[in-house]
């Protein structure tokens, strides 16, 4: 027996301080423990209180003693009795729709476009081929993607072809056919271009439409010829009889010619239309600088003043008209005259007065004014006297205003002004406007001893400080409500009007009421739609049935459609109106190199030698004419034939003899000689056979050998 004071009790017992523990050991390797003092009790963890795999720790230092469970990651609670919620910490990214708790784990349910354990990875939809159809370009984005479509396609995946025909792109009555990624227009006769917007210029298709120099002018859907004046007709092909208009003047005789005419003029006239008088002035009949003036059938001379007569050959006496002024005496001369003037005049006609001012008689800035036979001085305000040589006493006229005092000076004066005035003569009031007393843009006007303010329309008062209430004048029209503002006003208009003063009618056309390409014209209080030919109705919403005008020709059937119509043509015609013969040759019906010729309602194939049939689809059997020679075998093929020759002949038709000797057919030194259709081998004496392939056997045929020897020797 072992006595252990204050020793540690076995793991499943607990004891108080200073407890005597006695351990009895037995041969069965068991121990008995007794507490001499105090009471032994079972440890808290001995009952395995921790669940779900949690580990238990005794807490003996607590009163009363207890335990603590350390749980696995999948459980929580005092005894690990509650499954842990991994979603409580929000482990999924913001791209997750939902977090699903699982045992010791969780699952993130991702939004469309994301993947990964936490939905943290964007799915690149563009990595998959052919996401976007019809040439669309895939652009990945976070959680999604976008298809940038090629022109002519729309839709999330560019899967929808845009029907460009809905926008009526074909003009001038053209018929629109939608195509994948685009459209095509079948134009009305007279128009062309991708949208039938271009008029067909017939003038460019032929430079001989207009004859005889006529100018071709293209017009909408047609053309016209602008002819020279000498031709007429649709194509300027007819000569105009110019003589019918009597072009020859002055009794000239007209003779018509092709494309023109000829005038035979009467005497005295010339020119294309005898319109010019013969100009006798070219002979210079007028003398002494006389001017010749041609007249119809004659002429006359306009003479200078010095000459007269029919040819200006007579001297004129100018003195008869008394040209000399101021008492001058006239003397006639050949071609002129001469004036003798008195001393007070000069000039050709004594018309010029002698200017005494040339000697500058006026002083002190005075101006000299010449008069007939004399002069006078116009003095400045500061001098007087005949020659402006006397100083004026300006102060005698009291020039200083507003109580100013005058002091005379030589040639001038000086004013001493009273307070409040200024200026040379004290005529200026002090300008109060220099201090800008007028407010709000008012204009200041100075007055004697004061000022006035001219205010803008929106203000009034002495200094323009008061706002004008414009609403008092009722500026708003058509029931508009006026609101006064500082310096202005504003009109609140009813729904039917607009503008600063509600004076403008609302333009209903801005809301685009006219459908299908109709043109809107605003009217006062309403609007009018001008529809394109395919629609009618107030808003151009009613389709016009074009089939009522029978536009389809040559037995074509008309089918009306919304905004247009279509012609279903017979098999022999095509075009928007079945006006064009079907050119079957465009589909290349002639096979195997055949040449197609179109005709009205049909076509014809000109086949090559090796093919026949309506479309040249039947192969000609060349073997029927036995093209292979020397018993060659003919085999027909599509578009040709082939000769299979016997081994003795060659060539396309087995016409060539094969030289078998080229292949050295003769053995054992035999000599080959070619022949037509074969060959011959000349063998050595000891060999035989067609190709010298056999020797003479003396053992089996001694009689032949003896014969050979006898011949040999």
Q: Domains of the chain by range and CATH?
A: 126-161 (2.10.25.10), 548-581 (2.10.25.10), 659-694 (2.10.25.10)
Q: What is the mean pLDDT of residues 507-514?
A: 86
In angstroms, rounded to a whole number, what is the distance separating the alpha carbons of residues 656 and 644?
Answer: 13
Q: What is the mean pLDDT of residues 13-25?
A: 38
**Per-residue pLDDT at 42:** 62
Angle among Cα 588, 593, 594 to the nearest 5 degrees reads 70
For residue 98, give the nearest of 119, 120, 79 by alpha carbon.
Answer: 119
Confidence of residue 696 (pLDDT cuts 50, 70, 90): low
Q: What is the mean pLDDT of residues 471-488?
A: 88
In this structure, are residues 73 and 52 in contact, taking their beta carbons and an 8 Å threshold? no
Query: Strand, coil or helix: what is 181?
Result: coil
Instruction: Report the half-sphere exposure of 10 (CA within 13 A, side-chain side).
Output: 15
Question: Is 354 a residue whose pLDDT tops 80?
Answer: no
Q: What is the mean pLDDT of residues 7-25?
A: 40
Please state whether beta strands 20-25 and 2-5 pair in parallel, antiparallel, or not at all (unpaired): antiparallel
Q: What is the mean pLDDT of residues 96-125?
A: 88
* 709: Cβ contacts below 8 Å, ≥ 6 apart: none
- DSSP character for 375? E
User: What are the pLDDT digits (tens) for 160-181?
Assistant: 888 989 889 999 888 999 888 8
In this structure, are residues 691 and 681 in contact, taking their beta carbons and an 8 Å threshold? yes
- DSSP character for 649? E
Query: Strand, coil or helix: what is 338?
Result: strand
For residue 118, give the nearest of 97, 141, 88 by alpha carbon.
Answer: 97
**Per-residue pLDDT at 2:** 36
In angstroms, rounded to a whole number, what is the distance separating the alpha carbons of residues 343 and 354?
Answer: 8
Angle among Cα 444, 448, 454 to the nearest 5 degrees reads 20
Distances from the Cα of 252 to the Cαs of 255, 365, 523, 679, in angstroms?
Answer: 10, 78, 64, 108
**Per-residue pLDDT at 419:** 67
Helix, strand, coil distribution of the chain in percent, nearest 5:
10, 35, 55
**Per-residue pLDDT at 55:** 93
Query: Strand, coil or helix: what is 526?
Result: strand
Distances from the Cα of 153 to the Cαs of 157, 161, 164, in angstroms?
Answer: 9, 5, 10
Rg (CA), the chain: 66
pTM given for the model: 0.26
Confidence of residue 138 (pLDDT cuts 50, 70, 90): very high
**Per-residue pLDDT at 40:** 45
**Per-residue pLDDT at 522:** 87
Please state whether beta strands 618-619 and 175-179 pair in parallel, antiparallel, or not at all (unpaired): unpaired
Distances from the Cα of 612 to the Cαs of 585, 587, 688, in angstroms?
Answer: 17, 19, 57
In this structure, are residues 611 and 598 in contact, taking their beta carbons and an 8 Å threshold? no
Distances from the Cα of 634 to the Cαs of 638, 643, 676, in angstroms?
Answer: 13, 5, 21
Angle among Cα 618, 620, 626 to the nearest 5 degrees reads 160
**Per-residue pLDDT at 6:** 41
Question: Is 297 a residue whose pLDDT tops 80?
Answer: no
390: β partners? 384
* 324: Cβ contacts below 8 Å, ≥ 6 apart: 330, 339, 340, 341, 349, 350
In angstroms, rounded to a whole number, what is the distance separating the alpha carbons of residues 613 and 598?
Answer: 17
For residue 495, give the nearest of 505, 487, 486, 510 by alpha carbon.
Answer: 505
* 616: Cβ contacts below 8 Å, ≥ 6 apart: 590, 591, 592, 593, 594, 605, 607, 608
Handedness of CA 415, 419, 422, 427 (dihedral sign): negative
Percent of the chain with pLDDT over 90: 15
**Per-residue pLDDT at 373:** 62
Question: Is 91 a residue whose pLDDT tops 60?
Answer: yes
For residue 594, give the nearest of 581, 585, 604, 607 by alpha carbon.
Answer: 607
Q: What is the mean pLDDT of residues 68-85?
A: 88
Long-range Cβ contact pairs of 235-238 (< 8 A, separation 24 or more): 235/209, 235/210, 235/211, 236/210, 236/211, 236/212, 237/211, 237/212
For residue 399, give the nearest of 383, 386, 385, 412 by alpha carbon.
Answer: 412
Confidence of residue 263 (pLDDT cuts 50, 70, 90): very high
**Least confident interval from 78-82, 127-131, 615-619:** 127-131
**Per-residue pLDDT at 713:** 31
Question: Is 234 a residue whose pLDDT tops 90?
Answer: no
Question: Is 34 a residue whose pLDDT tops 50?
Answer: no
In angstroms, rounded to a whole number, what is the distance separating the alpha carbons of residues 153 and 146?
Answer: 14
Question: Is 400 a residue whose pLDDT tops 50?
Answer: yes
> Average pLDDT of the chain?
83
Handedness of CA 126, 127, 128, 130 (dihedral sign): positive
Q: What is the mean pLDDT of residues 336-352?
A: 84
Angle among Cα 56, 60, 66 to the nearest 5 degrees reads 55
């Amino acid at each position: 027996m072992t006595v252990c004071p204050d020793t540690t009790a076995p793991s499943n017992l607990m004891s108080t301080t200073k407890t005597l523990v006695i351990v009895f050991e037995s041969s069965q390797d068991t121990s008995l423990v007794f507490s001499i003092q105090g009471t032994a009790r079972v440890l808290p963890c001995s009952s395995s209180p921790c669940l779900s795999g949690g580990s238990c720790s005794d807490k003996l230092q607590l009163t009363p003693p207890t335990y603590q469970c350390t749980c696995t990651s999948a459980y929580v609670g005092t005894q690990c009795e509650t499954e842990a919620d991994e979603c409580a910490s929000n482990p999924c990214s913001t791209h997750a729709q939902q977090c699903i708790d699982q045992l010791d784990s969780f699952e993130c349910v991702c939004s469309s476009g994301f993947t990964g354990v936490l939905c943290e990875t964007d799915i690149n939809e563009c990595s998959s081929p052919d996401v976007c159809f019809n040439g669309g370009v895939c652009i990945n984005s976070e959680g999604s993607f976008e298809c940038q479509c090629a022109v002519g396609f729309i839709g999330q995946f560019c899967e929808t072809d845009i029907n460009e025909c809905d926008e009526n792109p074909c003009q001038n009555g053209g018929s629109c056919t939608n195509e994948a990624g685009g459209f095509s227009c079948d134009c009305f006769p007279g128009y062309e271009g991708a949208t039938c917007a271009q008029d067909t210029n017939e003038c460019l298709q032929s430079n001989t439409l207009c004859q005889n120099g006529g100018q071709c002018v293209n017009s909408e859907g047609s053309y016209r010829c602008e002819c020279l004046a000498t031709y007429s007709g649709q194509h300027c092909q007819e000569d105009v009889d110019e003589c019918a208009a009597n072009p020859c003047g002055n009794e000239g005789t007209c003779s018509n010619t092709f494309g023109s005419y000829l005038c035979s003029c009467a005497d005295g006239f010339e020119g294309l239309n005898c319109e010019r008088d013969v100009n006798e002035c070219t002979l210079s009949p007028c003398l002494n600088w006389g001017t010749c003036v041609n007249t119809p059938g004659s002429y006359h001379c306009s003479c200078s003043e010095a000459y007269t007569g029919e040819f200006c050959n007579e001297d004129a006496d100018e003195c008869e008209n008394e040209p000399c002024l101021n008492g001058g005496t006239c003397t006639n001369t050949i071609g002129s005259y001469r004036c003798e003037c008195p001393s007070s005049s000069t000039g050709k006609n004594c018309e010029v007065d002698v200017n005494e001012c040339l000697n500058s008689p006026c002083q002190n800035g005075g101006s000299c004014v010449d008069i007939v036979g004399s002069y006078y001085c116009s003095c400045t305000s500061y001098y007087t006297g005949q020659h402006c040589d006397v100083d004026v006493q300006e102060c005698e006229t009291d020039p200083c205003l507003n109580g100013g005092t005058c002091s005379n000076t030589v040639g001038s004066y000086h004013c001493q002004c009273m307070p409040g005035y200024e200026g040379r003569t004290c005529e200026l009031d002090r300008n109060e406007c220099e201090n800008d007393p007028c407010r709000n843009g008012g204009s200041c006007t100075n007055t004697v001893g004061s000022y006035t303010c001219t205010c803008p329309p929106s203000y009034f008062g002495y200094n323009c400080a008061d706002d004008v209430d414009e609403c008092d004048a009722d500026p708003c029209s058509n029931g508009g409500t006026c609101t006064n503002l500082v310096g202005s006003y504003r009109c609140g208009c009813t729904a039917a009007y607009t503008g600063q003063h509600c004076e403008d009618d609302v333009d209903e056309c801005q809301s685009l009421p006219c459908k299908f390409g109709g043109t809107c014209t605003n009217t006062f209080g309403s609007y009018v739609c001008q529809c394109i030919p395919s629609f009618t109705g107030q808003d151009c919403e009613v389709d016009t049935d074009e089939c009522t005008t029978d536009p389809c020709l040559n037995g074509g059937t008309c089918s009306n459609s919304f905004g247009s119509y279509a012609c279903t043509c017979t098999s022999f015609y095509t075009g928007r109106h079945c006006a064009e013969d079907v050119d079957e040759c465009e589909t290349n019906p002639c096979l195997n190199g055949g040449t197609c010729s179109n005709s009205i309602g049909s076509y014809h194939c000109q086949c090559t030698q090796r093919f026949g049939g309506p479309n040249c689809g039947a192969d000609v059997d060349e073997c029927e004419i036995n093209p292979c020679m020397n018993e060659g075998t003919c085999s027909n093929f599509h578009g040709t034939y082939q000769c299979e020759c016997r081994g003795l002949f060659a060539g396309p038709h087995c016409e060539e003899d094969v030289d078998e000797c080229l292949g050295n057919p003769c053995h054992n030194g035999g000599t080959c000689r070619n022949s037509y259709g074969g060959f011959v081998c000349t063998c050595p004496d000891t060999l035989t056979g067609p190709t010298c392939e056999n020797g003479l056997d003396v053992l089996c045929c001694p009689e032949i050998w003896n014969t050979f020897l006898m011949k040999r020797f």
